[in-house]
Amino acid sequence: MQSNKSVVYFLIKFFGVYALLFVLYAWYLQKNQIKEPIFTCAPITENVANQTQSLLNFVGYNVEMQQHTKEVSINVLVNNKPVARIVEGCNSISIIILYIAFIIAFKGSFKNTVLFIIGGGLLIYYFNIVRIAIISIAIYKYPVYQKTLHEIVFPLLIYGLTFLFWFIWVKKFASYKK
């Protein structure tokens, strides 16, 4: 019976934290994304696009980011050729929210929880920028693989990293009864 209580408690904490963070993020998007008369992405999505552009320009690619005129997204242009779009779902915040909800639900010490949330969240965020940079160049060079790269390979990488962090958290830092 105790194990059922633990599972129920975990689920309540997980979904409670997830719902709270999701509502706060939805509110942020509602206040910061503009759909008319001129489409504008939220600042976090613009930051991801700008940091991706800086990374790609730094490694020698001619990359430009342009706000899409008919939707809330940013076009990625490599050598003036549109190769991808960065939308709200590409900025990593949704996966960071999922990550945080799991870490909080699988209780650990306060210090470890805070440090793991900050460290893991930042690593996911910056890994995502590298992911967008690589997918943009991969689609530019191999457009025939666009669907496979975008729908399978690159989501697997970001979710795989998140799962790895969860695994490390549970094995090394969570204080659950074994």
Q: CA quadruple 8, 27, 53, 148: dihedral positive or negative? A: positive
Q: Is residue 20 part of a domain?
A: yes
Q: Is residue 178 part of a domain?
A: no
Task: State how many domains the chain has.
Answer: 1
Q: What is the pTM of this model?
A: 0.91
Q: Is residue 108 part of a domain?
A: yes
- Each residue of 44-65: b (16+ CB within 10 Å) or e? bbbebbebbbebbeeeeeebeb
Whole-angstrom Cα distance, residue 107 to residue 148?
37
Whole-angstrom Cα distance, residue 145 to residue 37?
35
**Cβ-contact 21, 100 below 8 angstroms:** yes
Residue 40: which domain range?
A: 2-173
State residue 142 phi and psi, 5-degree precision.
-130, 65
Q: For the sheet with 81-86, list strands across it.
A: 63-67, 74-78, 81-86
Q: Is residue 168 part of a domain?
A: yes
Whole-angstrom Cα distance, residue 132 to residue 95?
15
CA dihedral 70, 71, 74, 77 (to 10 degrees): -40
According to DSSP, the residues that pair with 85 across neighbouring strands are 75
Q: Is residue 31 part of a domain?
A: yes
Q: Is residue 44 part of a domain?
A: yes
Q: Is residue 83 part of a domain?
A: yes
Residue-level pLDDT, tens digit, the chain, 178 residues: 566 888 898 999 999 999 999 999 999 999 998 887 888 999 999 999 999 999 999 999 999 999 998 889 999 999 999 999 999 989 999 999 999 999 999 888 999 999 999 999 999 999 999 999 999 999 999 999 888 988 888 889 999 999 999 999 999 988 765 5
For residue 66, the SS3 value is strand
